[in-house]
Amino acid sequence: MLHRPLATFLVAAASLSGCGIVPLDAQWKDPAYPAESLRGTTVLVVCESDEQVVKQMCQDRVAAELRALGANTATVPYSADASSARPSDEARAVNARAIFNTRLSPDASHHFGSSGVGVSAPIGGTHFSQGYVANANLSDVATGRLMWTGRASTYHSNDLNWQIDSLTKALVGGAQQAGFF
């Protein structure tokens, strides 16, 4: 049986770990660009990362978030050929009105844990976790003009699914708050 203070602590810790979304670190909207909704239009979703799994997870999640806001989405198909077409060419090919481009970059660090009494050897070894920084741009296909940009970052975690979910929700939410969805 758990003591009440311990149970309260465990519930609080569980609710704080991996729940919610991160806030935007910063965002900018072109003040001269009219805030018109992109609902019902096609938006090309592009995610960039050095890790293919992060890129694909990001593309799927951003596309799902934009569809939930009423946009039609298209994604750049995966290609092993590094000389694939530019996003603006892909956007024109699918008749997209805008491009939502996200770049995810890792922010890695190592955390070392040790414990023991009278011993110099660490117990528990090394624990590796990683944080991510995401920068997103929303641009007009016809003019190439930047309409909105935002940045979000996550704290170091082993839960990559939570990190990507949180980042995409924050960034797409920022574009929505700016009046584009």
- Look at the chain and report how many structural domains it folds into: 1
Answer yes or no: is pLDDT of 94 > 80: yes
Looking up residue 32, the CATH number of its domain turns out to be 3.40.50.800
Average pLDDT for residues 100-125, to the nearest whole number? 61
Whole-number CA gyration radius for the chain: 20
Domain region containing 75? 25-103+135-151+168-177
| Domain membership flag for residue 65 | yes
Percent of the chain with pLDDT over 70: 73
Query: Which residues, 6+ apart, have CB-to-CB distance to 1 below 8 Å?
Result: none
**CB 121, CB 71: distance < 8 Å:** no
DSSP state of 157: B
Specify the pLDDT at position 36: 83
Query: Which residues, 6+ apart, have CB-to-CB distance to 9 below 8 Å?
Result: none
| Domain membership flag for residue 57 | yes
What does the mean pLDDT of the chain come to? Answer: 81
Q: Parallel, antiparallel, or unpaired: how do β-strands 126-140 and 146-153 relate? A: antiparallel
pLDDT bin (cut points 50, 70, 90) of residue 127 is low
51-92 pLDDT tens trace: 999 999 999 999 999 999 999 999 987 765 555 668 888 999
Identify the residue whose tokens are 């009278």.
118
| Domain membership flag for residue 55 | yes
Report d(CA 64, CA 124) in Å as an integer.
Answer: 39
| Domain membership flag for residue 74 | yes
pLDDT bin (cut points 50, 70, 90) of residue 34 is confident
| Domain membership flag for residue 10 | no
Distance from chain centroid for Cα 171: 7
Q: In terms of pLDDT, which residue wins out, 98 or 83? A: 98
DSSP state of 99: E
Give the H or E element holding residue 30: none
| Domain membership flag for residue 126 | no
Main-chain dihedrals φ then ψ at residue 169, nearest 5 degrees: -65, -40
